[in-house]
């Protein structure tokens, strides 16, 4: 069922505070990018607005980067410091970028006050433990996301668990592919994430967090991860959105091996509707990937529309013939699904099929350990 709403004719005008940088704003796909096509280099610091700095660190593969937000703050004694929101992968290139900022760059002579993480994915939480230990400061994170990180860090078994093998069979992977993946072993999460502190400061819906002159409120989104934390400063009209709202790409919505019968796509669509209803459209969105933009309502509308179109297309395909998870790929993805992305594609396809099943639009039948979905 399509999700309808009033769509504003155009995104709001960008804040004059950003015009001081001298960039020409760009409008694309209904969004406004106040800084044009500017992006800081890895390890380079750019003051986006008073109290909010922007740097980026590398992410291997097509994603290429993650945005890291450096927030001006003060220590208890009143001296200048900074908080970091989302930390990058725990790998040498990222550590080098941070060290450059701390030792030679814009943050030289200062120290961190706190580390903030939006969710448990490695490109966000990877360096959090290392940074918290380096500066001896607290980690602010949603409790569910913190526990997930701790759990995955502890799961360092060498062999692939039987549940993972069963899930790959469930999806319809051929045995050769299953054998190839089994040879890669387990525990890859821990290779990109530093050990977290024993404790954390919990962020939940409505939590208030101050950095310098900015007071942030936490808004929790669901679906991309169980309890993804976004930070909103209503006074400054700015939002650190993490992966909950991205300008160009769609967040991966996948079932998780730890909760294989969940409905993350249903949670995601519900979060989109809630964010659309509650967020002001003149917020400057600071995403984890891509450039800062205006037009949250427009982007949320597009995200909901694309998922609903995919659900409709896949349901029609299931009416034509029963399909395994791997058979659903052409209905969901424009690119060919190769072995390097089949894990992520399978997770997203399972989430879509599960949602069709749970909303009464598809039926599931198991045959020799493989799921077959159909629609009447």
Q: What is the 3-state secondary structure (H, E, C) of the chain?
A: CCCCCCCCCCCCCCCHHHHCCCCCCEEECCEEECCCCCCCCECCCEEEECCEEEEEEEECCCCEEEEEEEEEEECCCCCEEEEEECCCCCCHHHHHHHHHHHHCCCCCCCEEEEEECCCCCHHHHCCHHHHHHHHCCCEEECHHHHHHHHHHHHCCCCCCCHHHHHHHHHHCCCHHHHHHHHHCCCCHHHHCCCCCCCCCEECCCCCEEEECCEEEEEEEECCCCCCEEEEEECCCCEEEEECCCCCCCCCCCCCECCECCCCHHHHHHHHHHHHHHHCCCCCEEEECCCCCEECHHHHHHHHHHHHHHHHHHHHHHHHHCCECCHHHHHHHCCCCCCCCCHHHHHHHHHHHHHHHHHCCCCEEEEECCEEEEECC
Please compute the mean of the pLDDT values over residues 199-220 and round it to a whole number.
98
How do residues 114-165 score in pLDDT, each as one tens digit?
999 999 999 999 999 999 999 999 999 999 999 999 999 999 888 999 999 9
74 pLDDT higher than 80? yes
Please compute the mean of the pLDDT values over residues 345-369 and round it to a whole number.
97
How do residues 240-293 score in pLDDT, each as one tens digit?
999 999 999 889 999 999 999 999 999 999 999 999 999 999 999 999 999 999
pLDDT band for 13, please (50, 70, 90 cuts): very low
Instruction: Compute the mean pLDDT over every residue in the chain, rounded to the nearest whole number.
Output: 91
Please compute the mean of the pLDDT values over residues 181-198 and round it to a whole number.
92
10 pLDDT higher than 70? no
2 pLDDT higher than 70? no
For the chain, list the domains and their CATH numbers. 16-158+188-320 (3.60.15.10)
Please compute the mean of the pLDDT values over residues 342-351 and round it to a whole number.
95
Q: State the pTM of this model.
A: 0.91
């Amino acid at each position: 069922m399509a999700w309808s709403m009033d769509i504003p004719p155009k995104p709001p005008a960008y804040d004059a505070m950003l015009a001081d940088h001298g960039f020409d704003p760009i409008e694309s796909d209904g969004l406004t990018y106040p800084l044009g096509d500017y992006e800081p280099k890895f390890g380079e610091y750019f003051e986006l607005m008073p109290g909010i700095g922007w740097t980026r660190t590398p992410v291997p593969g097509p994603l290429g980067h993650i945005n890291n937000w450096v927030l001006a703050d003060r220590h208890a004694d009143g001296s200048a410091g900074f908080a970091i929101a989302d930390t990058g992968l725990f790998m040498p290139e990222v550590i080098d970028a941070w060290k450059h900022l701390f030792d030679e760059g814009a943050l030289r002579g200062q120290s961190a006050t706190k580390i903030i993480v939006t969710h448990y994915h490695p490109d966000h939480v990877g360096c959090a433990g290392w940074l918290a230990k380096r500066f001896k400061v607290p980690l602010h994170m949603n409790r569910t996301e913190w526990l997930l990180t701790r759990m995955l860090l502890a799961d360092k078994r060498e062999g692939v668990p039987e549940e993972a093998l069963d899930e790959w069979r469930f999806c319809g992977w051929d045995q050769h592919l299953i054998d190839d993946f089994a040879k890669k072993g387990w525990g890859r999460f821990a290779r990109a994430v530093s050990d977290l502190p024993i404790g954390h400061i919990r962020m939940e819906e409505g939590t208030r967090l101050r950095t310098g002159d900015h007071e942030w409120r936490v808004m929790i989104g669901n679906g991309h991860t169980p309890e993804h934390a976004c930070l909103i400063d209503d006074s400054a009209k700015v939002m650190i959105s993490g992966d909950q709202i991205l300008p160009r790409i769609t967040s991966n919505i996948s079932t998780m091996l730890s909760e294989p019968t969940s409905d993350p796509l249903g949670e995601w669509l519900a979060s989109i509707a809630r964010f659309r209803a509650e967020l002001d459209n003149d917020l400057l969105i600071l995403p984890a990937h891509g450039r800062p933009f205006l037009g949250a309502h427009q982007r949320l509308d597009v995200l909901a529309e694309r998922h609903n179109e995919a659900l409709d297309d896949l349901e029609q395909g299931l009416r034509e013939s029963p399909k395994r998870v791997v058979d659903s790929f052409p209905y969901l993805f424009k690119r060919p699904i190769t072995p390097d992305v089949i894990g992520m594609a399978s997770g997203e396809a399972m989430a879509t099929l599960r949602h069709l099943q749970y909303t009464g639009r598809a039926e599931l039948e198991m045959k020799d350990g493989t799921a077959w979905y159909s629609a009447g």
